[in-house]
Amino acid sequence: MTEKEKMLKGELYNANYDETLTAERNKCKELCFQFNTTPYADVGKRQSLLKSIIGSIKGQYTIEPTFWCDYGYNIELGDNFYSNHNLVILDGAKVTFGDNVFVAPNCGFYTAGHPLEVSKRNSGLEYAKPINVGNNVWFGANVIVLPGVTIGDNCTIGAGSVVVKDIPSNSLAVGNPCRVIRKIEE
């Protein structure tokens, strides 16, 4: 099994010395660099670059520069997606956003993790677990979402939160670690 196949299956893999993964990351980082350095007024070029980077885009979207990701092809955006400045998505596994998702500045979605065992970690092994975000979700500034997390529909994640476990639908959740503080009702 290739390192990429291991990555996509959520198994331990080594991305550091794999030519395929290195080439894919380098290509993606170059496209992100071009996006981030395109004049702000050139919306058409920025949108075209994002379409080259992101695996699936359902409808309307805006991502403000800067934006960085590892591969791009593992990112899926629903309709009416908006991200403010400094979005980072480490997409060794799928990162799926539903419709009407709003992301404040300086947020990160990290599918990558490393083993606790020092010898495995030092040998370059890592893993990637998917992140799933439902519909109608708002992330406050400086939120971090870690590997394997699912966030349900109609949630608000408060600024500065570190999301380490699933958040059920219709929840206001905040903190480090992020926890539900109340249900959101229409």
Separation of CA 105 from chain center: 13
Active-site annotation holds for 114:
yes
CB of 86 closer than 8 Å to CB of 106: yes
**Location of structure tokens 């979700």:** 137
Local structure of residue 167 (DSSP, 8 states): B
What is the distance, to the nearest Å, from the Cα of residue 91 to the centroid of all Cα atoms in its chain? 6
Q: Which of 114, 120, 165, 183 is labelled catalytic?
A: 114
> Among 101, 32, 104, which Cα is nearest to 65's?
32
Catalytic residue list: 114
